[in-house]
Amino acid sequence: MRTKILLILLVLGISLATTIPVAAAPATSSLPTWHRVARGETLFSIGRTYNVSPWAIQRANWLGNPNRIYVGQWLYIPAGPSYPWPRGCGSYYYVRPGDTLFRIGRMYGLSPWRIAQANGIYNLNYIWVGQRLFIPCH
């Protein structure tokens, strides 16, 4: 009985060790494509996925208000130059009830516009509880 259990554990261990995890990686192609908006996505997060500026996506789709995209909407992702996403220096902050970009900026010694720019936020009053914000270095 003990030998069977050890054999099963050995087989499971080998199968897990040889399994290659598949993760969603950012697209490296600079070819234009289409993207279907999923729950919780923003133009900024979609832009990061394809390494394209959120403003380029906004212009390509004639979006008057870049904060108004909806689940299931198809967006054209244009080919374009790489976008300088925040890397290295910085941290993340999760928005809590009562938070504003002004209050968060004061906590970190940054202007609310700097935080908004780092997160692709166009309307300083449009943040929500639980939202993850990148807080750039000074």
User: Is it the case that residue 16 has pLDDT exceeding 60?
Assistant: no
Q: Are residues 64 and 41 in the same domain?
A: yes
Average pLDDT over the chain, rounded to whole?
A: 79
Residue 84 lies in a domain: no
Q: Are residues 129 and 99 in the same domain?
A: yes
What is the domain extent for residue 63?
Answer: 33-77
Residue 23 lies in a domain: no
Residue 20 lies in a domain: no
Whose tokens are 């943040």? That residue is 127
Residue 122 lies in a domain: yes
Instruction: Please give the pLDDT value at position 29.
Output: 47
Work out the average pLDDT over 88-111: 88
Instruction: Please give the pLDDT value at position 30.
Output: 59
Measuring CA to CA, which residue among 94, 137, 104, 98 is closest to residue 118? 137
Residue 96 lies in a domain: yes
Residue 15 lies in a domain: no
Residue 110 lies in a domain: yes
> Domain of 58: which CATH number?
3.10.350.10
- Higher-scoring residue by pLDDT: 126, 90: 126
DSSP 114-131: HHHHHHT-S-TT---TT-
Locate all alpha helices (DSSP H) within 34-132, ordered by sequence.
43-50, 54-60, 101-108, 112-119
Tally of domains within the chain: 2
Q: Are residues 98 and 61 in the same domain?
A: no
Work out the average pLDDT over 103-120: 89
Task: Report pTM.
Answer: 0.43
15-19, 20-24, 64-68: segment of lowest average pLDDT = 20-24
Work out the average pLDDT over 7-34: 58
Q: Are residues 72 and 98 in the same domain?
A: no
